[in-house]
Amino acid sequence: MNNIYDDKQFFDEYAKMSRSQQGLLGAGEWHQFKTLFPDLNGKSVLDLGCGYGWHCKYAIEYGAEKVLGIDLSEKMIDEAKKRNDEPKIRYMVCAVDDYDYPANSYDCVISNLVLHYIEDIESIFKKIHQTLKANGVFLLNIEHPVFTAGVKQDWIYDSNGRPQYWPVDNYFYPGERTTHFLGQNVNKQHHTLTQILMGIINSGFKLEVVEEAIPSADILDIPGISDEMRRPMMLLIKSIKQQ
Amino acid sequence: MNNIYDDKQFFDEYAKMSRSQQGLLGAGEWHQFKTLFPDLNGKSVLDLGCGYGWHCKYAIEYGAEKVLGIDLSEKMIDEAKKRNDEPKIRYMVCAVDDYDYPANSYDCVISNLVLHYIEDIESIFKKIHQTLKANGVFLLNIEHPVFTAGVKQDWIYDSNGRPQYWPVDNYFYPGERTTHFLGQNVNKQHHTLTQILMGIINSGFKLEVVEEAIPSADILDIPGISDEMRRPMMLLIKSIKQQ
């Protein structure tokens, strides 16, 4: 996994995004994602790719007893400690694919917008299954396969500069896609829907919810938001550890 | 549901497709779909939108005791009786949304490439759940949301007439799409992935397999087939009745 988030210029741009400045309320998918959370009263939570720590903080406010947030980026973890410090939260600089995933240790694992940076997601799903207790909940938000299979992950524009349609290509050739995000080239991984869902099922989970993030009706008149109705960008999944 | 399949010109064109002439072996997705079939020994099977009856015949060959194939199109049912007649198969002219779905009657329900003609698929999923016995299996092949959200369900071509990319638009506005298929305008229904998967889950099923149809490696050199690697066309789903 690459570590663009420790690049100063990129990180400074990331800091300007509404999800950075306003936290969860600035994230367009939060109204949907939060409905997937199980009761966290007294529970232990692992947040994979915690970023600024918004979900860690939310978990504590929502009753969790103990939260570990890990992130590859030192700058992110510094920011999390500044913004969302809590005695019950531990933040650790650690890549999602380097963590040791102690067996039967967590009631809930959250991963928000990070697994599309990982090529072999199925190995991560298996580790998440291992580290969850029986009936533990895995909450995933990952970029949608339609989005990651987008040509340069951008619209085709008409002659007036308006988005004309979203181009999909090479869908069944998963792997690295270089995209332009926050002024830099960023490498992401395209996974097919099959890889995501069967990776989760084959790791021993039952799929409870599979929902595409869709803007809430009350923000559709914000410039640019109506285009979010034209192609899916994020896939939200709630699954339960079985066996 | 419209009944384009009883239009003579359309039906004659349909008869020329390899899946019509060669049956299951002429259907590119069959190598995958057949692996989803449960043991059918002594079982009762319902085929929704049976067409020429290929899946009905396969079910009998595979051990099923009793099969009902229904299809809206008289021409299809006539053809099924000619090509795939069997004492254990009953064919009936009946639309998928008109059938009465007797409770707890079938071990397996198959629906191959027909539910993208139905707007309210969740009501059909609920009826399928009702007509299945406990732990019964529902096998679905439906056009993929990326395909049904395609602009005119066709590629954008480059100046040499080669497919350049697959354009997606208005994804979160499900409903009717008029497409050009076999020389005629055909109305289909676009459903989002959320509608398909949550429709199945909310009807009381457990998702066992969700797989996009992908061409088998040995046919990739057939003209046109390599383009099938560039965008998904069909979604194959196996689910089990719970409760």
Rounded distance, CA A130 to CA A106, Å?
9
The B89-93 sheet, strands edge to edge? B89-93, B66-71, B44-48, B106-112, B132-143, B234-241, B205-212
Compute CA distances B5 → A56, A182, B25, B118, whole Å.
55, 50, 22, 14
Return the residue of A nearest to B215 by Cα: A172
Answer yes or no: is pLDDT of A18 > 90. no
Tokens for B53, please give them.
């009856």
**Count of positions (residues) in chain B:** 243
Asked whether the predicted pLDDT for residue B37 surpasses 90, the reply is yes
ipTM of the prediction: 0.95
> How high is the pLDDT of residue B19?
86
Q: What's the pLDDT at A44?
A: 98
Gap between the Cα atoms of B135 and B151, Å rounded: 39
Q: What is the mean pLDDT of the segment spanning B45-72?
A: 97
Amino acid found at B90? R
Instruction: Find the closest chain A residue to B192 by CA distance.
Output: A212
* Percent with pLDDT over 90 in chain B: 80
Residues of A in contact with B168 (CB under 8 A): 146, 165-168, 230-231
Q: Is A192 on the interface with B (CB under 8 A)?
A: yes
pLDDT in the model for residue A1: 61
What is the pairing mode between strands B106-112 and B44-48? parallel
The mean pLDDT of chain A is 95
Range list of β-strands (E), A85-233: 89-93, 106-112, 132-143, 156-157, 163-168, 175-181, 184-190, 205-212
pLDDT digit string, tens, across residues B86-138? 999 999 999 999 999 999 999 999 999 999 999 999 999 999 999 999 999 99
- Residues near B190 by Cβ (< 8 Å), separated by ≥ 6? B116, B145, B148, B149, B171, B173, B174, B175, B176, B177
Does residue B183 register a pLDDT over 70? yes
* A240 close to B (CB below 8 A): no
Q: How far away is chain B from the Cα of A206, in angstroms, using its nearest Cα?
A: 8
pLDDT for residue B1 is more than 80: no
Q: Whole-number mean pLDDT of chain B? A: 94
Q: Choosing among A142, A193, A208, A220, which should be mutated to test the B contact, i.e. which has the most B CBs within 10 A?
A: A193
Are B230 and A193 a contacting pair at CB < 8 A? Answer: no
Residue position matching structure tokens 């895995």 = A138
Distance CA A29, CA A36 (A): 11
Whether residue B201 and residue A208 make contact (CB cut-off 8 A), yes or no, is: yes
* CA-based nearest residue in chain A for residue B237: A194
CB neighbour burial string for A157-188, b if at least 16 within 10 angstroms, e if fewer: eeeeeebbbbbbbebbebeebebeebeeebeb
Which of A167, A197, A212 is opposite residue B165, by nearest beta carbon? A167
Residue A243 pLDDT > 80:
no
Which of the four pLDDT bands, split at 50, 70 and 90, describes residue A2? low
State in Å, rounded, how far the first CA of chain B is from the last one: 30
The size of the A-B interface in CB pairs under 8 A is 110
Partner-chain contact B172 A146, CB within 8 Å? no
**Dihedral (CA of B47, B200, B38, B24) sign:** positive
- Quickly count: other Cβ atoms within 10 Å of residue B155's Cβ: 20
For residues A112-116, give the mean pLDDT. Answer: 96
**Cβ of residue A157 closer than 8 Å to a chain B Cβ:** no
Which tokens hold the place of B23? 């049956």
| Of the partner residues B149, B170, B212, the one whose CB lies closest to the CB of residue A192 | B212
Task: Name the nearest CA neighbour of A44 among A125, A105, A127.
Answer: A105
B173–A165 C-beta distance less than 8 A: no
